[in-house]
Amino acid sequence: MGTVIAVASGKGGTGKTAFCANVALSLCALGEKVLLIDADVGLRSLDMVLGMTDSLLFSYGDVIRGTATLKEAAVPHPQAGGLRVLTAPGEPTEEGSFSREEIGALLDRAREHFTYILVDCAAGLGKDVISFAVEADRVVLVSTSDYTALRSANRTAGLLNEEGQENCAIVVNRLRPGMIRAGDTANVDRAMNATGLSLLGVVPEDESVIAAGNRGVILAAECYGAAAQAYVNIAKRLQGKRVRLLKNVPGRWDS
């Protein structure tokens, strides 16, 4: 059975979608069979980041309703072997969000065919986010190192815990060593203390992440810079391997 990882954030703009795309590709490079689910109904953007805008015809809503099979709806990525993508409905359904039971059944079906299922949840704590997060095996909260984002991550983890999801970890994204040395942003230790969460990984600030997303290519497939290596380290840690947070990541990380 595969492992479902819901990727969430307390606030928008933390880099959650880029994280999902690049960690998914890194897992595929490590030999895993991965399904990426865009769960941001109405505001989906994973298709653009992956360069698959014209190829994702069915959504996970179609699979739940039975109008398409998971095999039909989950489209292979044109370049990354082992990676399939399942998009979100383009608009909210007339009857509202899907039930937790329906989402749980969808994820159970995916577990039968993939070793990892990464769910790119919407920002905030809407009904669908809670359903995907609670039905997942674990939750990764992506946060930047500013205190407002860290507080949002802490609050999100607390609310998910109340709903029954206790397996939450944090990834600190867009980490800037210069700002840490100047005392202008939280360092990694303080970020952990601020959220009370275990640390899955850190991703350095890297302009190539934005450039790759704008071009519809996956950073990890074209670049071997700081962020790309950080994604590989996180993928290995998801596999249960012991990897230092910043192993082989170029840059000065002595603070």
Looking at 30-98, list the stretches that DSSP marks H as alpha helix, in order from N- to C-terminal side. 46-49, 60-65, 70-73
- CATH code for 3-238? 3.40.50.300
Gap between the Cα atoms of 96 and 203, Å rounded: 35
The DSSP bridge pattern shows strands 3-8 and 138-144 to be: parallel
Q: How many CB atoms lie within 10 A of CB 103?
A: 25
Taking only the tens of pLDDT, the chain with its 255 residues reads 899 999 999 788 888 998 999 999 999 999 999 999 999 887 778 888 888 877 888 999 999 999 999 999 999 998 888 999 999 987 766 445 799 999 999 999 999 999 999 999 998 888 999 999 999 999 999 998 888 888 888 899 999 999 999 999 999 988 876 544 444 445 666 666 667 788 899 898 765 555 555 455 555 555 567 888 899 999 999 999 999 877 877 665 444
What kind and span of H or E run contains 86? strand 83-86
User: Where in the chain are the domains?
Assistant: 3-238
For tokens 């998971």, what's the residue? 70
What kind and span of H or E run contains 115? none
